[in-house]
Structure 1
Amino acid sequence: MSTQQTKPGCVFCNASAARGFNIVWEDDEFIAFSDRSPAAQHHVLLIPKRHIDSIKSLHQADVALVERMNEIGHSILDQLNVAKDLRRMGYVIPPFNSIYHLHLHVQGLPYTSALKSLMYQVSTGTGNNDKGFGWFVDIDQAIAILNKGHTVGVFAC
């Protein structure tokens, strides 16, 4: 995992209201802001303030970070009164992501269009795999994969 605090040229490093981000939640380690191009009725991006390239950069030692992001994401959706069955949280997997700074998509459905929903399709795993082929990993899948000592990728894992 990349452990540098910020990365030169990273759009999400040093995200702040002064830089045009609509901040919805923040603490010392994480910050959440409205997605500029929302795919769902509620669409927030939650990032660690410390630069981490992507979900592919994480390992078993990072499970606590992902679990904390899960807790924060649910807290944000609770504040927005999003029903449990209308929640989707996960990560787009490189090379299909648009920004190389770990960001959790925290969404309250419905999606704004069928086309936008395609980006966030969850591919269930079979056999020993928690996830099938796909460019989006649900946060619970990511936690299960990392807990097994594996890394998250586009292919089944």
Structure 2
Amino acid sequence: MIHKDSELVCFRDICPAAPHHYLVVPKQHIVSCFSLFKEHIKLVERMAEMGRAVLQENGITNPNDIRLGFHIPPYISVPHLHLHVLAPTSEITDDLAHKFTPGTMRFFTEDLLRRTLEDDLCRLVCTVEPDHYHML
């Protein structure tokens, strides 16, 4: 465990895709992004804040070379909400890059999830267009 507070824990990913790959996890059980509502915006923001703080503590200071995001069902391997924190994005391994590509059905950036919740779209809905999601 790298960091924790009363609500969240942060630890290294067991299969890192980048030199710095951490997971920020709420202690409260939440299955996935599909379980989130507008009331969870502050939780998502706190998760991102912890992820950025851990990166800063580890010397990662370029905000343009980090990626924060969530996998969405069915592309989750663990049924518990967790934020992936990766840096530097320029060093994400080629064999795992497809799992962390913004704009695909597999990976919602923290920013996109937050904006979706702010728009009060209670549920993320994905079309089956080849590998790209759309908010409906």
The normalised TM-score by structure 1 is 0.76
Q: Which residue of 2 aligns with 1:85?
A: 64
Larger radius of gyration: 1
Task: Give the equivalent residue in structure 1 for 2:11.
Answer: 33
Aligned residues with identical type, % of pairs: 32
The number of residues matched between the two structures is: 126
Counterpart AA for 1:69 = M
Q: Which runs of 4+ in 1 moved over 4 A?
A: none
Match runs of 1:25-64 below 5 Å:
25-64=3-42
- For 2:78 and 2:24, the matched residues in 1 are separated by 13
Summarize the alignment of residues 106-117 of structure 1 with structure 2, pairs less than 5 Å apart: 106-109=85-88, 110-117=90-97
For residues 112 and 122 of structure 1, the distance between their equivalents in structure 2, rounded to whole angstroms, comes to 13
Select which of 51, 64, 74 maps to 1:95. Answer: 74
Q: Deviations over 1:52-78 (max 9, x none)?
A: 001111011111111111111111111
1:108 counterpart letter in structure 2: A
* CA RMSD across the alignment: 1.3
Name the amino acid aligned to 1:93: I
TM-score computed with the length of structure 2 as normaliser: 0.87
Structure 2 residues not aligned, in runs of 5+:
127-132
- Higher RCO (C-alpha 8 Å, min separation 6): 2
Return closer, same or farther for 1:27/1:111 CA change in 2, 3 Å cut-off.
same
Structure 1: tracts of 5 or more residues without a match: 1-22, 124-132
- TM-aligned CA distance change 1:153 to 1:37, over 3 Å: farther
- Give 2:84's aligned amino acid: H
For residue 105 of structure 2, give the secondary structure of its aligned residue in structure 1. coil
For residues 112 and 139 of structure 1, what CA distance do their matches in structure 2 show? 18
